[in-house]
Amino acid sequence: MPQPDGSSIVLTTRVQAMLGWVRKNSLWPLPFGTGCCAVEFNSSVSSHYDLARFGAEVVRFSPRQSDMMIVAGTITDKMGPVVKRVYDQMAEPKYVIAMGACACSGGFYRAYHVMQGIDELIPVDVYVAGCPPTPEALIHGILELQEMIQRGKTHHDRLKTQDRKATTALPG
Amino acid sequence: MTDSRHKTEKPQPPFPAELKALGSQILGSEKTGDGHHEMLVDRSRILEVLRTVKEDPAIHCDLLVDICGVDWPDRDDRFEVVYHLAALETGLRLRIRVPLKEEDPTMPSAFGLWKGANWFEREAWDLFGIHFEGHPNLKRLLTHEAFDGHPLRKDYEPGRRCLLTEDEIMTPEWARENPTDNDQFETHILNLGPSHPATHGVLRTVVQLEGEVIRRAECEIGYLHRCFEKMVESQGWNQVIPYTDRLNYCSSMINSVGYALAVEKLLDVEAPPRAQILRLILSEFSRIMDHAVCLGANLVDLGAVTGSRYFFQVREEIYGLLESCSGARLTVSYARIGGLSHDVPENFSSQVRVLLDTIPGFIDDVEKLVTRNTIFRDRTEGVGVISGAEALAWGWTGPCLRASGIPYDVRKASPYLGYENIEFDVPVATTGDCYARYLVRMEEMRQSLHIIRQAIDSIPGGPVMIDDPHIAPPEKSKAYNEMESMIRHFKLLNDGIQVPAGNGYGFTEGANGELGYYLVSNGGGKPYRIKVRPPCFAIYQAYPHLLEGQMVSDAIAILGSLNIIAGELDR
């Protein structure tokens, strides 16, 4: 890294830490908005709260292009297979935020057509409470996720560790 | 307490003599208390009655408001189908009840008379298992294909789920086989949604394209069916309010006020004047928010991203006001049966005045950017045209109907909350296209500001909650310190508000049109049945017909202009 006086210095880091640093600051959200929470998600990316300040403003509706799925709203049994398919289409590494009470646990809809939390279907990294959560709460959730990515604590990282253990434990 | 109980009924048109010969049992409007004429009709005569009601010039009920089922397991005739009808010219309101036996819950379809019966009957089939003979497409609507049973029947366990796998996702039959025409473009099946950026919520439309022109379309809804009507049957009357807030979440205040008014009608009480006017002001602000989201989303879909940012700022400003009143931004849960949960903050008036000064600026900015914009006009003018008569046949109400030239507005037709004392115009357009719907909404926002400007100067003092120990809980200080208040508090919160047995339909002007609540009470602390009449539901069922012959990109423009809110559509 060049310095003002013409000399240069070298920063050393681990590959994992650098990857985490890069990944956490360029999250591309996929808003899977179904209900009321989607309106608050819109507020979060609009000018007033400006999610761009945290490097997560490139909203992409295509699962192929995004790495952070924000499930905002109630997921019903009819919608379940769609969530699963969209999640499966995302490329690794991918992260999931469950925004709001419905996505976390079904909320106050303990009913015949409502999924009692999206973790019935897909792994969730961060649960954001609220009905609906304020934009501040969602931004807090994203900051939490960034911290988890940096420290290698996401579901994606856990899966990788499990895989490594499984391969090393193979006989022969 | 004596002040709170007084009749608010305005004079109703008399019961038409032509009808008296038709009904096997006529219940006059004085018996129903909600201003509706009610009659019981045997199912063998229902088509004849409905035809007379629609076609007789003296009655002429041109709007089919709602069809719903009610389940009475203890009665001989287990099911009941309830029709709500309205004559826009005379203001006549009619309710027709048809009892059905459990062994044979079939009756003729009203689709031939009103196209709007289409989805209402499908819903009754889905949720109650009532079979409508002669319906063109009687299959499940809100629940999924793999669902077993009819969930709104009283013997259906609220929490019993049926799971759906990916292979079972339904495609309409005509879309499965793909006929190709050798002389023409190849036809092509396209699936819009349910996860699609332009559907703003979870709506799915399957279209058959010939080149870029839509030949056939079908909507699939229910992706946000959260079982509102089943859930509320296990809640107290006041506990329903958080659920109503999540119906049309873009304007939750209007929903809860409409519900509270409907229950108050059933109880025959009225909220104090201060609560009424505060409800009115916040409802009008909610209407502005709703229109702002609708127009903003419509603009984004057409590529005009800037306009939506202005409109989202309008929302943020109004959120500030709602948050200072209720503590929540979006789902406010602020109304209560008999008033409001608590008074507004001291600086309410000054906050409102600031908003009244700032919001017109945002509207003017968008107006300058969009209204005469050539691209916007090219995309919206002459697109998605519907005539007034046809819109009415589908059961449309609200801004979409007014854009087709029919000036029906519940605030004028049957005023509530003191709209009769306020001067405002009902904007009407005549062309019935997407551009007309845009213009109507823009002007309605200005009219809402005009309404608020008049109301803000006349906020009376006094309580915001009715003085009735059977409805309003005592103040907290009293509940802690006085024996009698404590007992009342305990009784009210444990048993809930006791609503006398009966039924009633309350309706208000929601942001999308007539928002109605049909309430049935069996005298307990919990509702026996609540049926919401969501304005979107009637509007959206006409969407496939608007699409036929349009370009695929117009589908997005039309959808945005209808303002379909999935929470309200699917409940």
Q: Using N-to-C axis directions, what is the helix angle for B273-301 and B252-267, rounded to 10°?
A: 140
Query: Which is more confident, B179 or B96?
Result: B96
pLDDT in tens, B140-153: 888 888 888 888 88
Shortest distance between the Cα of A46 and any Cα of chain B, in A, equals: 7
Distance of CA B138 to the CA centre of its chain: 23
Which tens digit of pLDDT belongs to each residue from B425-455?
999 999 989 999 999 999 999 999 999 999 9
Residues of chain B in contact with residue A74, where contact means CB-CB under 8 angstroms, are 224, 226
- Is the per-residue pLDDT at B503 higher than 90? no
Contacts of A77 in chain B (CB under 8 A): 144, 161-164
Residue B554 forms part of a structural domain: yes
A36 interaction partners in chain B (CB closer than 8 Å): 246, 249, 330-331, 567
CB pair distance less than 8 Å for B144 and A78: yes
**Are B202 and A79 within 8 A, CB to CB?**
yes
Question: What confidence category does residue B25 fall into, taking pLDDT thresholds of 50, 70 and 90?
Answer: low
B43 touches chain A (CB under 8 A): no
Sheet hosting strand B187-192, strand order edge to edge: B187-192, B204-210, B213-220
Domain ranges of chain A: 21-164
Contacts for B196-202 with beta carbons within 8 Å, 24 or more apart?
B196/A61, B197/A61, B198/B301, B198/B556, B198/B559, B198/B560, B199/B559, B200/A33, B200/A38, B200/B297, B200/B560, B200/B564, B201/A33, B201/A34, B201/A35, B201/A38, B201/B564, B201/B565, B201/B566, B201/B567, B202/A34, B202/A79, B202/B566, B202/B570
Residue B377 lies in a domain: yes
Whether B242 sits inside 8 A of A33 (CB atoms) is no
Omega of the bond leading into A132 within 30 degrees of 0 (cis): yes
Q: Write the burial class of residue A11 (CB in 10 Å: 0-12 exposed, 13-18 middle, 19+ buried).
A: exposed
Instruction: Report, as an integer, the average pLDDT of B465-479.
Output: 85
With 0-12 / 13-18 / 19 or more C-beta atoms within 10 angstroms meaning exposed / middle / buried, residue A97 is buried
State in Å, rounded, how far the first CA of chain A is from the last one: 46
* CB-closest option in A35, A39, A77 to B144: A77
A60 in contact with chain B, both atoms CB, cutoff 8 A: no
Across the interface, which of B158, B223, B312 has its CB nearest the CB of A111? B158
* In a shared domain, residues B345 and B450: yes
Report the number of distinct structural domains present in chain B: 2
B161 in contact with A, Cβ within 8 Å:
yes
Question: Do residues B115 and B235 share a domain?
Answer: no
Contact across the interface for A80 and B227, Cβ inside 8 Å: no
Smallest Cα distance from A153 to chain B, Å: 29
CATH number of the domain within which B73 lies: 3.30.460.80
Angle at B311 between CA B309 and CA B316, to 5 degrees: 95
Q: What is the average pLDDT score of chain B?
A: 85
Query: Does B368 map to a domain?
Result: yes
Q: What is the pLDDT of residue B452?
A: 92
**Whole-number Å distance between alpha carbons of B236 and B283:** 24
Q: Is A78 on the interface with B (CB under 8 A)?
A: yes
- Chain A residue with the nearest C-alpha to that of B232: A109
Report CA Rg, chain B.
24
Put simply, whether A109 touches B (Cβ < 8 Å) is: yes
**Could you tell me if B226 lies within 8 Å of chain A, comparing CB atoms?**
yes
Fill in the amino acid letter for B370: V
Asked if residue B207 belongs to a domain, the reply is: no
Interface contact flag, A32 B309, Cβ < 8 Å: no
Residue B30, domain extent: 17-133
Give the closest of B143, B166, B566 to A85, CB-based.
B166
Of B165, B250, B316, the CB nearest to A48: B316
* pLDDT band (50, 70, 90) for residue B2: very low
Q: Which residue among B133, B156, B176 closes a domain?
A: B133
Q: Does A42 touch chain B (CB under 8 A)?
A: yes
Residue B512 within a domain:
yes
With a CB-CB cutoff of 8 Å, which residues 274-303 of chain B face chain A? 293
Please say if the pLDDT value at position B108 is more than 70. Answer: yes
Chain B neighbors of A46, CB-CB under 8 A: 309, 312-313, 316
Highest mean pLDDT among A19-23, A146-150, B160-164, B300-304: A146-150
pLDDT at res. B20:
66
Identify the pLDDT of residue B13: 64
pLDDT at position B1 over 50:
no
| Whole-Å CA distances, B537 to B66, B109, B533, B559, B571 | 10, 18, 8, 13, 10
| Intervals of chain A under pLDDT 70 | 169-172
Just give the CATH number of A21-164: 3.40.50.12280
Contact across the interface for A46 and B309, Cβ inside 8 Å: yes
Separation in Å, CA B253 to CA B249, B279, B285, B289: 9, 8, 9, 11
- How much is the pLDDT for B3? 39
Residue B254 pLDDT class (50, 70, 90 cuts)? very high
- pLDDT of residue B11 exceeding 80, the answer is no
CATH number at residue B367: 1.10.645.10
Tell me how close the Cα of B421 comes to any Cα of chain A, in angstroms.
34
- Per-residue pLDDT, B250: 86
Domain assignment present for residue B198? The answer is no
* C-beta atoms of B202 and A34 within 8 A: yes
Of B73, B101, B133, which closes a domain? B133
In this model, does residue B5 exceed pLDDT 50? no
List CB contacts of B562: < 8 A, sequence separation 6 or more.
Answer: B400, B437, B536, B539, B540, B543
pLDDT tens digits for range A71-99: 998 998 888 888 888 899 898 889 999 99
Residues 308-337 of B with CB under 8 A from A: 309, 312-313, 315-316, 319, 329-331
Q: Is B202 on the interface with A (CB under 8 A)?
A: yes
- For residue B149, count other CB atoms closer than 10 A to its CB: 13
With a cut of 80, say whether residue B22 has pLDDT above it.
no
Domain boundary pick from B133, B157, B183: B133
